[in-house]
Amino acid sequence: MEMIQKINHYLSLIKFSHTVFALPFAFIGFFLAIHSGQATFSVQKLVMVILCMVFARSAAMGFNRYIDRKFDAKNPRTAIREIPAGVISANAALALVIVCSISFVVWTYFINEICFYLSPVALLVVLGYSYTKRFTPLCHLILGLGLSLAPIGAYLSLTAHFALAPILFSALVLLWVGGFDIIYALQDEEFDRKQGLRSIPVLLGIKGALYLSEGMHTLAAFIVFACFYFGGFSWLFAIGALIFIGLLIYQHSIIKPNDLSRVNLAFGTTNGIASVVFCIFACADMYFL
C-alpha cells in the first residue's frame, strides 16, 4: 500500500496525466510516416517512441518542479505540490530527472542515428523551459516548442528525414500549447508579478493575454487546414479537425477576464479531449481511407 502511494506521488509530481497533450501528436507523426509511403509499421519502433515521449516529458516536468520548488512553496496555489509539501525530496526529484533523461537518450540510440544525435537538443529545449520564466514572457512558446517536437520526432523515428507535413503538425502543437499555457498562467499573474517572474499575463495583463491566446489559437486553426491539405487527408480528418477547433473556441468561451474559475476545465479537460479526439480521427483517416 505504501509503495502504491509513493508511485502515485511521483506520478503526481510529473503530472503523468498531462502526457495526453503531446502523446497523441506523436502517434499522428508516427502514422503520418507510414501514410506517406516512406515507412512501414513497426510495433518495436512505436513502443520506443512512446517510451521516449514518457521519459522526456517526465524529465521535463520533474525538472520544472525541482527548479521552481522555492516559488511553489511561496504560492498558495502550488504549495501543496510534492516537493514544497515535503512528500518528495528535492534530491529524489532531481534523481528522477537524471534517470529519465538518460533513459530518453538511450532509447533514441536504439531508434536511429538522427534521433540519437538530436536527443540532446530535445532535452535542452524541454529542460531549459523551466528557466525561461525568469527572463522572458515568451516562456509559453518555449513550452509549446518542447511539446511540438513530438510529431517531428515520431516521424523521424521511421523515416530518418524531415518533411513538410510533420513540421506543420509541430507548428500546430507549438501555437496550441503556447495558447493554452497562457490561459493557465492567468491564475498566477499577481504572484508572478510580485516575484519578478515573466509571463504573457504579467506583460499584457489578463485581458491582453486572453486576446493573444485567442490569436494564437486562431492561427493554429488555420494550420490545421494546412495539415489537411499538405498531409493528403480525407473527410475523417476533417471531422476531427472541426471538433478540435470547436473545443478551442469552447475553452475561450468559458474564460473571462473577470472570471477565471474554469481555467482548469479549459486547460486540462478540454485540451486533453481535443488532442485525443483529433488523434483518433487523424489516424483513422490514414488507416482506413
CA gap 54, 38 in Å, rounded: 25
What pLDDT does residue 144 have? Answer: 96
Here the cell at position 272 is 486533453
Q: How confident is the model at residue 187 (pLDDT cuts 50, 70, 90)?
A: very high
Specify the 3-state DSSP secondary structure of 42. Answer: coil
Class of residue 240 by CB neighbours under 10 A (exposed 0-12, middle 13-18, buried 19+): buried
d(CA 28, CA 39): 14
State the pLDDT confidence band at 265, using cuts at 50, 70 and 90: confident
Q: CA 259, CA 276: separation in Å to the nearest integer?
A: 27
d(CA 74, CA 84): 9
Residue-wise pLDDT for 54-92, tens only, equals 999 999 999 999 999 999 999 999 999 999 999 999 999
- pLDDT tier, 268 (very low <50, low <70, confident <90, very high otherwise): confident
Would you mind telling me the total number of residues written for the chain in this entry? 289
DSSP state of 18: G
Residue pLDDT, tens place only, 189-225: 999 999 999 999 999 999 999 999 999 999 999 999 9
CA angle 84, 268, 215 (to 5 degrees): 115
Task: Give the model's pLDDT for residue 1.
Answer: 63
Could you report the per-residue pLDDT of 124-140, keeping only the tens digit for each?
Answer: 999 999 999 999 999 99
CB atoms within 10 A of CB 182: 27
CA 164/CA 58 separation, integer angstroms: 28
Least confident of 9-13, 75-79, 144-148, 233-237: 9-13
| Model confidence band, residue 104 (pLDDT cutoffs 50, 70, 90) | very high
DSSP string, 79-137: TTSTTTTTSS-HHHHHHHHHHHHHHHHHHHHHH-HHHHHHHHHHHHHHHHHHHHTTT-T
How confident is residue 18, by pLDDT bands cut at 50, 70 and 90?
A: confident
Domains recognised in the chain with CATH numbers: 2-288 (1.10.357.140)
